[in-house]
Amino acid sequence: MLRSLGWGRKGDKGEPGAASKVPGPASTVPGPAGKSAFELAQVAGFTGTQAEWLASLKGAKGDTGASGATLIGQVVVGQTAAVAIALGIREVTTTLTGVVVGERYQCFCRSYKLNGAATATLGRPSNYAIIDCVSNAANQVTVSLQAPLLAIGSSYALTCDIVRINAA
């Protein structure tokens, strides 16, 4: 039965195969050392010492770059539900002097009040997420956010910092 499956006694040793085309240890032998950067500078015409060459690599101090972001101001983004509002994305537009159409903005929730609370709580309420912040008209900003279901009479008010992202 084993012979019918191709199994049987061990056969004779075969002939060696052709030479491998895959690079082996012979191709990993290090080549000769190349020139240093200083030597290449000399070839390119530098005539000073190595210390002078190293000193020449440091240029003058550049101008101070722009800040990565600029606080434009704060806005309160909120709604009070006259009718029940389903869970979903909301867009709230408000006035903010200094925002410019075409600039890039980011919105950070500083504090919030839910359902007319007397005092604000620091941070962002759970189940709320700021998605986007854009200016489609001068001195107006639209904040897109994910908000939970609001029952009739429920409200939220998020105090948000609006920051311009300074593009280079």
pLDDT in tens, 57-75: 888 888 887 778 889 999 9
Q: Write down the pLDDT at residue 7.
A: 62
Do the bridges between strand 104-114 and strand 155-165 make them parallel or antiparallel, or are there none, so unpaired? Answer: antiparallel
Q: Write down the pLDDT at residue 1.
A: 47
Tokens of 121: 């709580």
- How much is the pTM? 0.59
CB of 78 closer than 8 Å to CB of 137? no
pLDDT tens readout for residues 109-167: 999 999 999 999 999 999 999 999 999 999 999 999 999 999 999 999 999 999 998 76
Assess whether pLDDT exceeds 80 at residue 24. no
Assess whether pLDDT exceeds 50 at residue 87. yes
Assess whether pLDDT exceeds 90 at residue 33. no
Q: Which residues contact 108 (CB under 8 A, 6 or more apart)?
A: 130, 160, 161, 163
Assess whether pLDDT exceeds 60 at residue 2. no
